[in-house]
Structure 1
Amino acid sequence: MNSITTPTYAVHFNEKAYVALNKHLAKANYSKIFVLVDENTHNCCLPIFMSKIEGEYDFEIIEIEEGEINKNITTCTQVWEVLSELDADRKSAMINLGGGVVTDLGGFVASCFKRGIDFINVPTTLLSMVDASVGGKTGVDLGPLKNQVGVINQPQIVVVDTDYLNTLDQRQLNSGYAEMLKHGLISNASYWETLKGNTSFDNLDEYILTSVSIKNEVVQQDPTEQHLRKILNYGHTLGHAVESYFLESEEHDLLLHGEAIAIGMILEGYLSFKLTGLSKNALEDIKATFLGRYKKISFGQKDIDTILGLLKFDKKNSHGNINFVLLKSIGEPAIDIKVAPELLEQAFAYYAE
């Protein structure tokens, strides 16, 4: 797999990635290297990662609790305190070995500590490989509200080793696959058709490369999400609200990110049918594809009211307006679309049909 280059760093794959990483570490001469993990990646991924390192370095392992519920400022403070206690300086570096929680939080911690130290991302979930590996978004949640605090800051290098996918269960793989399906919906109808027909996770290396390339092309044109990059948020306006609601609800089990975004893509597919010209056949295709992969969730009116109330916190909002990314057709998005409240209720009714 060929590396993907951005203006400031590269995403490297599999064994080539470790060659590039070892060259970088040898050249950088870091005073200390901190490896951020959660409980799962500490046990399942850290031994693999350390076996690939050539040379002698001063490594310190920092472990955080796993899960989106721990992606917050409190965890950041704990990591900053450990960095201070272990004498990290501005020539130290942080390697974030984990899924999106670890790479998002670790990138933010590194970006703020002593006004910024180098960080390297080693995504270990399918979701983080195709989503967090490109774009430089770092940050944490504010309570249940997704990604409210953060900065855009680029890593030094990204290591994508698809062998880490062997540590994941089917549910985690499906969560990441939702973001890949999104890449087809917003940019490439042929890719959408290919992915939706792949029910056994075959050819994942090839598809990961395609998804990372799609995201990289978008981000290079709009690094700070002023215009085009917004298309990557298809399904995320309502999907993030659903995810946030399930994070704080005592009556429902947690949803993984991809599971919530899959719901969001059906809901926003309906809005696209009503507002931006998406055909009925395309809408039904989107709904059937996601409900064929992801468990259907039952929403009561109280659930819906609370979820819609969370939309005011979406990061794309401006001047009091909630802005949606919708689809004109599969592969053709439209940005900054305003939606009447009654259509949002209708979208949930369509999902429930």
Structure 2
Amino acid sequence: MIWMLMFVGAAVASILGIIYMTNSIAKFKVIKNRLVAFLILVALFLIFTFTLEWINALTITIYTTGFFLIFGLLGRIVRRFSKKEFKVHWQGLCAILSSVLFLGTGYYLCASVVEKDYNLTTEKDTGDIKIAMLSDSHIGTTFDGEGFAKHLKTIEAQSPDILLIVGDFVDDSSKKEDLEVACKTIGEMDLKYGAWFAYGNHDRGYFNHRDFTAEDLENILQENGIHILEDESVLIDDRFYLVGRADKGYNPDRLTMDELLQDLDTSKYIIVMDHEPADYAAEAQSVADLVLCGHTHGGQMIPITKFGVWSGIDDSTYGLEEHNNTKFIVSSGISDWAIKFKTGTRSEYVVVNVNARKTNLE
């Protein structure tokens, strides 16, 4: 419900923004006509809708409106104290330039992927483990199957022991062809302990209009040797446990941490994949050593980066934390759901070195 209200609010804000920007753009000497200004804005909105989809057109409109409001207010303050009228509509020029720079940077931060490294230590006799983790690929948003395969090759070049896919691998806009290419590439990766998958809230789909089903997803993953863990655990190489939780949003009746970990040998290192960072209290009180999450997209956009925490939906937005001897890592994700901009963070995959010399708490 809260997300529906946000979408409705964004749509209303976008409509009001177009009205406000129409008046502002009409102040340019080369335009001087509200109807022409309005038609220009509508045309731009339609262009962005067809090239980047409606939600990105909405995002562009909202942020551009924000800059027009900021510089419009600044212009009023300057006129009030200077008692002068300006020949050049500098407020509009500054608003357009700021919008281009802000959103252009956001597009780059979303589309370009970096490696984020964490070095952890443990007193348990587990040896060195190099974990590659990725979340929120939402295949089809910023890259297709072939584009995702290129990122997987980059990850493979880091020689990880294991690949963990922590939810939202696909969503309602993903295509079966891209899913198959991505899974085939994962299946061909040189990984000592293979690839493992835990469900996110988008993976099974919400609207059933994509060209594959939840069953198809499960079959394609398994056909390519990708192991699925849903409220399950597995002991790997008699060295460490890997636990995959069912997604909280999709399955609110999932097992509790106590139920999930009750039979595990606590002398061994325990890694938990939990897509949504929303059960820190129980996980911190459990015997888990490391919890890996995604879902938040690192806060996605300024100024709503901490919205999930402020609203009580999430326990954390991004990065490494430690609570009661349990370490938590939340990734910003290697891509995004629908929105092609990140301004409060950037896209990443994660490499976790367990038993490195130094622990990074950033």
> What is the TM-score normalised by the length of structure 2?
0.28
Quick check: which has more Rg, 1 or 2?
2
